[in-house]
Amino acid sequence: MTMRHSGIGMTSARTRQRMIDRLRDQGIVDEAVLAAMYEVPRHLFVDEALASRAYDDVSLPINYEQTISQPYIVARMIEVLRASTTRPIKKVLEIGTGCGYQAAVLAHVFPEVYSMERIEPLYQRAKSKLHDLAINNVKLSYADGSAGLPDAALFDGIIMAAAAPVMLAALREQLAVGGRMVLPVGRQEQWLYLVEREAQGFRESRLEPVKFVPLLMGKA
């Protein structure tokens, strides 16, 4: 990784290590997730004026009324996705690319990542950032993610970066048997859910309260 990507001052390796130490204190134990969170330069995915806050445990605006999720929730969702005991999670779909940060972390953890973004400037920005970082195992789509990506299904894992008002049946059906989906659900009160597809059907587990931007439909 070049010095430009490594950062200086408030974006330095030491600052990143403090983020990792904080994630451990918050209960993140998956070493592959922690390593990916350390490797991906979060400060490159936010506006330069916000770079000094990139490794704080906060969500930050990325324009178009969207945000980059706080580091804890990114790590938590990916850790839950990886915690399968029935099927290796290799092929993953992300709904809501945003600035591309979570897609970059996913790409360090899983061999095959698909990601969908409905806002064209964000799609283009994420595409550029992933290219700059030589991340080649993410397939980006400029599309409405609410219907998923049936042409590429089935997926071992699905992760959503916006809150659906209700559980989305179309996405559940794109899970392979043994697959897992992690997503926020709700309007005013949102909860993080884990959906597991078993041979007999689906099992849903409510994990913890969260706050995400709402899932919107249609391309913009």
Catalytic (active-site) positions: 69
Taking only the tens place, the pLDDT of each residue in 120-145 is 999 999 999 999 999 999 999 999 99
Tell me: pLDDT of 39 over 50: yes
Query: What's the burial of 77, exposed, middle or buried (CB within 10 Å: 0-12/13-18/19+)?
Result: buried
Q: Does residue 152 surpass a pLDDT of 90? A: yes
pLDDT score for 214:
87
What's the pLDDT score for residue 220?
62
User: Do the beta carbons of residue 169 and residue 204 sit within 8 Å?
Assistant: no
pTM of the model: 0.92
Predicted pLDDT at 6: 55
Evaluate if residue 7 carries a pLDDT over 80: no
pLDDT of residue 216: 82
Q: Model confidence at 11, in pLDDT bands (50, 70, 90)?
A: low
Residue 22: the pLDDT is 97
Q: Return d(Cα 98, Cα 160) in angstroms, integer.
A: 11
The fraction of the chain above a pLDDT of 90, given in percent, is: 79
Choices 3.20.20.20, 2.70.98.20, 3.40.50.150, 3.40.50.720: CATH for 58-210 = 3.40.50.150
Give the C-alpha separation, 85 to 1, whole Å.
33
Q: How does residue 1 score in pLDDT terms, banded at 50, 70 and 90? A: very low
Q: If pLDDT is split at 50, 70 and 90, which confidence band does 2 have?
A: very low
pLDDT of residue 178 exceeding 80: yes
Is pLDDT above 60 for 116? yes
pLDDT in the model for residue 150? 95
pLDDT in tens, 56-108: 999 999 988 889 999 999 999 999 999 988 888 999 999 999 999 999 999 99
175-185 and 60-61 beta bridge pairing: unpaired
Q: Structural domain boundaries of the chain?
A: 58-210
| Statement: residue 9 has pLDDT above 60 | no
Residue 85's pLDDT is 83
52 vs 103: which has the higher pLDDT:
103
3-class secondary structure per residue, the chain: CCHHHHCCHHHCHHHHHHHHHHHHHCCCCCHHHHHHHHHCCHHHHCCHHHHHHCCCCCCEECCCCCEECCHHHHHHHHHHHHCCCCCCCCEEEEECCCCCHHHHHHHHHCCEEEEEECCHHHHHHHHHHHHHCCCCCEEEEECCHHHCCCCCCCEEEEEECCEECCCCHHHHCCEEEEEEEEEEECCCCEEEEEEEEECCEEEEEEEEEECCCECCCCCC
User: Is the model's pLDDT at 4 over the cut of 50?
Assistant: no
Give the burial string for 118-152 (b: 16+ CB within 10 Å, else e). bbeebbebbbebbeebebeebebbbebbbebbeee
